[in-house]
Amino acid sequence: MATGDKSDQGNLHSALVALQEVVRRAAAASRFQAHSEERLLQLIVDATVSLFAAQSASVALFERDPDRLEFRVAGGAQSTGVVGISVAPTDGVVGYVFSTGESLALSDIAADPRFDRAVAERIGYVPGSVAAVPLVSEDQVVGVLEVFDKNTNESFNVRDMELLAAFAAQAGAAIAGTRVQHDLPVLLASSLRQIVPDMSDDQVRELVSTATKDLDVERDRPFWALVDQVSSLRDLGEEELELVGDILGVVATHQTHRGRSGGR
């Protein structure tokens, strides 16, 4: 790169500003997407509980740093307190299904003192039977769908396993369809390398770090609070949405006028 060239530096600065804008918008988009993914998973979990007439069902997804299976959604009468719990990816039935990508059902597990005891005690519910299937997205296991205790007290049979696998296929497709890669620096770095293939690793690293420097800090700022609010409004009906749009429009117009009259 030419050194001390003013137009080059000017271009670089504009590029950096543009990059920062992209990063902000991508971060906003990922917050939107995160909600829709969870809504879809909740639908599937609730349908699972209903179809199997079961006490509880849950979805755990694999998360990194630290590597863990985090319970993201749960449904059914015995589902309180499950969401938010994390287990190691090698723990219990859910760990086995995640590690192998194979389906598994166990009954008579109350008799086994070692079965997922930590989770069971935390939520105050020790299941008698469980069926678990892997969630597969793009040929990778990304999580586990579990269902516990049919109300009839019957154990899960082979047809139940196949039906559960069909539900898991839907969940896997949902994850593939809605998940924007959460790790923005990684996404950004790979995009940069595609656009400018001969950029060195150090240059990529520096650009990405500059662009994402203040992103976490902004997480609690009013802007992000607004993004979250808007995202949660999507369940409103048409009339309510129009009303919200009108209110936002009034506020925006008011701000513009204040800006023009020099006030702040």
* Torsion angle in degrees (nearest 10) through CA of 115, 116, 121, 125: -80
Candidate segments 33-41, 100-108, 203-211, 231-239, binder of other proteins by CB under 8 A: 100-108
Cα 66 from Cα 44, distance rounded (Å)? 27
For residue 197, whether the previous peptide bond is cis, meaning omega lies within 30 degrees of 0, is no
Using rule CB under 8 A, residue 186 touches other proteins: no
Least distance from other proteins to the Cβ atom of residue 126, Å: 14
Which of 72, 103, 171, 212 binds other proteins (CB under 8 A)? It is: 103
Cα 191 from Cα 184, distance rounded (Å)? 10
Least distance from other proteins to the Cβ atom of residue 144, Å: 11
Least distance from other proteins to the Cβ atom of residue 88, Å: 7
Cβ-proximal residues to 252 (8 Å cutoff; 6+ apart), any chain: none
Least distance from other proteins to the Cβ atom of residue 140, Å: 7
Which of 86, 99, 170, 191 binds other proteins (CB under 8 A)? It is: 99
Q: How many residues bind other proteins (CB under 8 A)?
A: 39
Cα 68 from Cα 227, distance rounded (Å)? 28
Residue 238 is encoded by which pair of tokens? 């048409």
82: closest CA among 95, 71, 97, 67?
Answer: 71
CB-based burial label for 35 (10 Å; 0-12, 13-18, 19+): middle
Using rule CB under 8 A, residue 89 touches other proteins: yes
Using rule CB under 8 A, residue 208 touches other proteins: no
- Measured in whole angstroms, the distance separating CA 66 from the mean position of its chain's CA atoms is 16
Candidate segments 35-43, 127-135, 189-197, 220-228, binder of other proteins by CB under 8 A: 127-135
Candidate segments 95-103, 116-124, 204-212, 227-235, binder of other proteins by CB under 8 A: 95-103
Question: Radius of gyration over alpha carbons of the chain, in Å?
Answer: 24
Using rule CB under 8 A, residue 161 touches other proteins: yes
- The most distant pair of C-alpha atoms in the chain lies apart, rounded to whole Å, by 77
Q: Where are the alpha helices (DSSP H) in 110-221?
A: 117-123, 158-178, 184-195, 201-212
Site for other proteins in 49-88 (CB under 8 A): 67, 88
Candidate segments 12-20, 92-100, 181-189, 190-198, binder of other proteins by CB under 8 A: 92-100
Which of 87, 119, 133, 204 binds other proteins (CB under 8 A)? It is: 133
Which of 14, 80, 157, 203 binds other proteins (CB under 8 A)? It is: 157
Site for other proteins in 107-126 (CB under 8 A): 107-109, 111-115
Residue numbers at the binding site for other proteins (CB under 8 A): 67, 88-90, 92, 95-96, 99-109, 111-115, 131, 133-134, 136, 139-141, 155-158, 161-162, 165, 168-169
